[in-house]
Amino acid sequence: MSEAIVSLRNIDKRYVRGKQSVEVLQGLSLDIPKGDFVALMGPSGSGKTTLLNLIGGLDTPTSGEITVGGQRLDKLSSGGLSRWRANHIGFVFQFYNLMPMLTAQRNVELPLLLTNLSSEKRKANAVAALTLVGIADRAKHKPSELSGGQAQRVAIARALVADPMLLVCDEPTGDLDRKSADEVLHLLQILNREHGKSIIMVTHDPKAAEFASRQLHMDKGSLLEAGAALV
């Protein structure tokens, strides 16, 4: 088995709401090998989006160890976590999160504004990412001029433009019709198989999950045995 890009040990996550403590994840341990394409499934409230946010560095555990790409995330300060996240993780969300007044190209360039790249290099990298996802011909279009499937391809290009070690996708096809969804999922499959991108995708859709290399199932804050790499 290849080295783990994600390693979690005894992860607990609790949220305090008023006087009530809500346990979302309980003693969760998991290894995800480099180059894997994982579909994370489970009913609403099972903790899958919380788990995705922890792996992507958007949240921190109450206790336990999270290592992604050799970096212990639970040891980083909030500022250190933000810098790490910007350099190593590509995010794809259900509703694209594109800036409506910017063209596709400028949307894709946004993560590169945090780097020292020149404007010419940022543009070149954005065009390369749009070409990779098959939508370079829409580079000058604004989100309102794109279909849902095209907008999600732009969002994927934006996630890829800084060459992240890991793509984390939260319901990336939840707002798309079946045809557009399958096209986006096929693109993710190509990025995984032909370009070696490691991908973790939360989805409610069993058809979407079939595009992944394997499926992990969660319920009540824990991984179920079937299909999970439990340690």
Q: Where are the domains of the chain?
A: 36-60+75-223
The whole-number pLDDT of residue 112 equals: 84
User: Which percentage of the chain shows pLDDT scores above 70?
Assistant: 96
d(CA 196, CA 190): 9
1, pLDDT greater than 60: no
Using CA atoms of 151, 156, 160, 162 in order, give the dihedral in degrees to the nearest 10: 50
So what's the pLDDT on residue 192?
93
pLDDT-based confidence at residue 114 (cuts at 50, 70, 90): confident
SS3 13: strand
Residues 6+ apart with CB under 8 A from 60: 54, 73, 74, 81
More confident residue, 62 or 224: 62
CA distances from 27 to 99, 143, 223, 229 (A): 38, 41, 10, 14
pLDDT of residue 193: 93
**CB within 8 A of 132, min separation 6: which ones?**
157, 160, 191, 195
pLDDT, tens digit (0-9, with 9 covering 90-100), for 156-189: 999 998 888 999 999 988 888 888 889 889 989 9
Q: How does residue 225 score in pLDDT terms, banded at 50, 70 and 90?
A: low
Q: Supply 31's token pair.
A: 């290894």
pTM of this prediction?
A: 0.88
| Fold topology of 36-60+75-223 | Rossmann fold (3.40.50)
In the predicted structure, residue 227 carries a pLDDT above the cut 60:
no
Q: What is the CA radius of gyration of the chain?
A: 18
State the pLDDT confidence band at 101, using cuts at 50, 70 and 90. Answer: very high
155 or 114, which is more confident? 155
Contact criterion met (CB below 8 Å) for 36 and 196: no
Kindly tell me if the per-residue pLDDT of 90 is higher than 80: yes
Task: Mean pLDDT check: name the lowest of 19-33, 86-100, 214-228.
Answer: 214-228
DSSP code per residue over 139-175: TT--GGGS-HHHHHHHHHHHHHTT--SEEEEESTTTT
Reading the block at residue 149, the tokens are 């499937």
- Position 10 scores a pLDDT of 93
